[in-house]
Structure 1
Amino acid sequence: MVPPEADTRARPPHEVAAWSRAVVGPALRAAVDDLPTSTRHVAGYHLGWWDEHGEPTDAAGGKAIRPVLAQLAAEAVGGEAGAATPAAVAVELVHNFTLLHDDVLDGDRTRRHRPAAWHVFGVGAAVLTGDALLALAFDVLADSGHPEALTAVRRLNATVQGLVEGEHTDLAFERRHDVGVAECLAMVERKTAGLLATACALGALFGGGDPTRVAGLRMFGHRLGMAFQHVDDLLGIWGEPAVTGKPVHADLLARKKSLPVVAALASGTPAGREFAELYRQDGPLTPTEQARAAELVEAAGGRAWSERQAERLLAEALRALDSLHPAPRAGAELAALAEAIVRRDR
Structure 2
Amino acid sequence: MGVSTSRFALGILAASDQLPPACLDGLECLGELGLGGELRPVRGVLTAALVAVRCSRTLVLPSDNAEEAALVAGADLLPAQHLTELTAHLSGKERIVPVNRVPAQPKSSGEPDLCDVRGQHLGRRGVELASAGGHDLLMIGPPGCGKTMLAERLPGLLPPMTEAEALETACIYSVSRPGFEHCCWRMRPFRSPHHSASAVALVGGGSRVLPGEISLAHNGVLFLDELTEFDRRVLDQLREPLESGSITVSRASRSVVYPSRFQLVAAMNPCPCGYAGDPSGRCRCSSERQSRYQQRISGPLLDRIDLQIRIASVELTDLRFGSLPGESTDLVRQRVEGVSCPSIRPMRHAQCQDSD
Determine which structure has the larger helix proportion and give its number.
Answer: 1
TM-score normalized by the length of structure 1: 0.27
- Structure exhibiting the larger radius of gyration computed from Cα positions: 2
